[in-house]
């Protein structure tokens, strides 16, 4: 049971908890001017032990006016309910940062659990013995009082719960946006602390880039572990595979080369391609180059090889093959699929469409390989390659 009594207490005897010691001086000054003119309209609230529950700014204003004693509403109840009242008083203040709001809201939930006070939004909260308590503020009502949505209040709880102490300090001292703070809270504690150090030192001036860099370094570290790479190399396995299969196609006879009707390199049937075993790690990126005609076959092969289709990269070329009565085929496809759970090390400016000029029959553009090198780590292979590619092993009899 909670009861209120009215006392007048020596102002120096009132104990201000740490929770109540953050004050807005302009608010204190405004209250002092109002109290000087019309008096203290609402007494402060304390416990029977003179511990302040509500009214820190009013108390400070009266001290500023050199009052000797102050009217108080004395709250007589157990310590948990005193703390609950104090938390609700703090939550309706508009000077708290998101982390502080979340910390108070989480503690409020813990107290309600300890008191057995749980009910639907807007209803009274039954006590453990079945009696109904006086209505208490719900998360929804608290959110309305402090001028935020329930979702925002829940996000504040997420920050308070998931951020490490070092990350909380970095967020508070460097005025990170809530969006960036939420991104930080989703990282593992070790990564949070690495970023917190970078933020504190001024190294992470662009927070999103810093997050990407931490994730990138972590993936690279895992992929480039010396022992792991040696095992992959010994087993002939790769983290990234680019394959330009020798599709079963015939060259169209042209007036320019009437004697040339077959391609200059061996081709393979779909059955032969399907029997191949790709040298892939458990977690592997795969790009399969194909044209309009063989796109359906490429999708079938990807599934047969044990990969999952994700998306299709489109190379927009300067010109291309055109059959009479049909559009010009001025693009090729690099169908992306993966096996397991490979990670991209960078996704900034990472697009599925890119433009590049043609440089020779079946020669894939440097722009594509530049992109693959930037967004992936680990061992790479270019299967059925027509040329040597930096950072890629070559697999095929046509590399020059």
pLDDT, tens digit, 9 for 90 and up, residues 274-292: 999 999 999 999 999 999 9
pLDDT of residue 329: 86
| Residue spans of the chain under pLDDT 50 | 1, 119-125, 127-129, 131-132, 134, 252-263, 397-400
Distance of CA 135 to the CA centre of its chain: 37
Query: What predicted TM-score, i.e. pTM, was given to this entire model?
Result: 0.51
Burial class (CB in 10 A: 0-12, 13-18, 19+), 329: middle
Distance, in Å, from the CA atom of 352 to the CA atom of 362, rounded to the nearest integer, reads: 20
Distance, in Å, from the CA atom of 336 to the CA atom of 309, rounded to the nearest integer, reads: 6
pLDDT of residue 373: 93
Please tell me whether residue 324 adopts helix, strand or coil conformation.
coil
- Could you tell me what percent of the chain has a pLDDT over 90? 32
Is-same-fold flag (3-165; 226-395)?
no
pLDDT of residue 148: 77
Chosen CATH of 226-395 out of 2.60.40.10, 3.40.50.150, 3.30.460.10, 3.40.50.11540: 3.40.50.150
Residue with tokens 């939420």: 182
Cα-Cα-Cα-Cα dihedral sign, residues 20, 22, 27, 29: positive
pLDDT of residue 286: 98
pLDDT of residue 379: 92
Give, to the nearest 10 degrees, the angle between helix 150-162 and helix 98-115. 90
Q: Which of 326, 327, 339 is nearest to 277 (CA)?
A: 339
Q: Are 45 and 85 in contact (CB under 8 A)?
A: yes
pLDDT of residue 136: 59
Distances (CA, A) of 127 to 62, 113, 117, 219, 397: 38, 11, 6, 51, 79
Tokens of 24: 């807005």
- Where in the chain does DSSP place strands (E)? 3-10, 44-47, 52-54, 69-76, 238-243, 280-290, 308-322, 328-339, 353-355, 380-383, 393-395
pLDDT of residue 23: 74
CA atoms within 13 A on the CB side of 192: 21
Q: Classify domain 3-165 by CATH architecture.
A: Alpha-Beta Complex (3.90)
Q: Are strands 280-290 and 52-54 parallel, antiparallel or unpaired?
A: unpaired
pLDDT of residue 395: 74
* Residue extents of the structural domains in the chain: 3-165, 166-222, 226-395
């Amino acid at each position: 049971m909670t009861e209120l009594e009215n006392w007048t207490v020596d102002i120096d005897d009132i104990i201000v908890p740490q929770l109540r010691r953050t004050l807005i001086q302009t608010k204190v000054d405004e209250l002092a001017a109002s109290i000087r003119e019309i008096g203290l309209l609402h007494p402060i609230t304390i416990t029977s032990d003179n511990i302040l529950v509500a009214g820190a700014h009013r108390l400070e204003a009266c001290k500023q006016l050199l009052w000797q004693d102050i009217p108080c509403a004395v709250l007589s109840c157990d310590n948990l309910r005193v703390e609950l009242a104090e938390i609700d008083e703090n939550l309706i203040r508009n000077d708290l940062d998101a982390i502080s709001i979340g910390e108070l809201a989480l503690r409020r939930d813990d107290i309600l659990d300890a008191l057995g006070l749980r009910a639907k939004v807007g209803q009274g909260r039954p006590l453990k013995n079945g009696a109904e308590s006086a209505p208490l503020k719900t998360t929804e009502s608290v959110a309305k009082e402090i001028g935020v949505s329930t979702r925002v209040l829940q996000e504040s709880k997420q920050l308070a719960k998931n951020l490490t102490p070092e990350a909380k300090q970095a967020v508070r001292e460097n005025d990170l946006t809530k969006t960036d703070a939420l991104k930080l809270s989703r990282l593992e504690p070790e990564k949070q602390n690495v970023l917190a150090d970078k933020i504190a030192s001024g190294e992470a001036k662009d927070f999103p880039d810093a997050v990407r860099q931490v994730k990138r370094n972590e993936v690279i570290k895992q992929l480039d572990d010396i022992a792991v790479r040696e095992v992959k190399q010994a087993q002939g396995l790769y983290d990234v595979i680019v394959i330009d299969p020798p599709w079963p196609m015939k060259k169209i006879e042209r007036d320019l080369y009437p004697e040339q009707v077959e391609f200059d390199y061996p081709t393979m049937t779909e059955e032969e391609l399907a029997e191949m075993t790709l040298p892939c790690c458990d977690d592997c990126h795969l790009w399969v180059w194909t044209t309009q005609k063989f796109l359906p076959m490429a999708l079938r092969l990807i599934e047969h090889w044990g990969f999952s289709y994700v998306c299709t990269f489109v190379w927009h070329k300067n010109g291309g093959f055109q059959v009479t009565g049909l559009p010009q085929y001025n693009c090729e496809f690099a169908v992306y699929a993966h096996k397991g759970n490979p990670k991209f090390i960078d996704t900034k400016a990472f697009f599925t469409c890119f433009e590049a000029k043609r440089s020779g029959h079946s020669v894939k553009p440097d722009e594509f390989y530049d992109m693959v090198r930037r967004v992936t780590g680990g061992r790479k292979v270019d299967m059925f390659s027509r040329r040597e590619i930096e950072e890629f092993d070559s697999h095929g009899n046509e590399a020059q």
